[in-house]
Amino acid sequence: MSRRYSPKVVTANRLREGDVVYLTADDQWSPHHHEAELIEDEAHAQMRLLHASAQKLTVVGAYLADAKAGPNGPEPVHFREGFRARGPSNYAHGKQADLRS
């Protein structure tokens, strides 16, 4: 019996800046969670993770995080990923400030 694979995004921190980034379908690293590639197949996820982990001069600590489809693209599932996508809750620092347009 195979359980349904819960969808994933590939995420990491940028080597130089340390900020959180997501792997997009066209092989870019985006600071926006909703621009990430939502991966629904386990084998494909492993391949994308390998691809990400090989980029040793760009990112650190790549891993697969649970995500779900939303109206504007993938959304975090766990609250930890929510904080990574937004920034800390005590100050308007991190993405919530940097990405404000």
Contacts to other proteins by CB under 8 A: 13, 15-20, 56-57, 60-61, 77-80, 83-84, 87-91, 93-95
Please state the closest distance from residue 42 (CB atom) to other proteins, in A.
21
Of 40 and 66, which has the nearer Cβ to other proteins? 66
Report the residue number, 48 or 95, with the smaller CB distance to other proteins: 95
Q: Rounded to an integer, what distance in angstroms lies between the CA atom of residue 10 and that of residue 16? A: 18
Give me the least distance between CB of 12 and other proteins, in Å please.
10
> Closest CB to other proteins among 25 and 92?
92
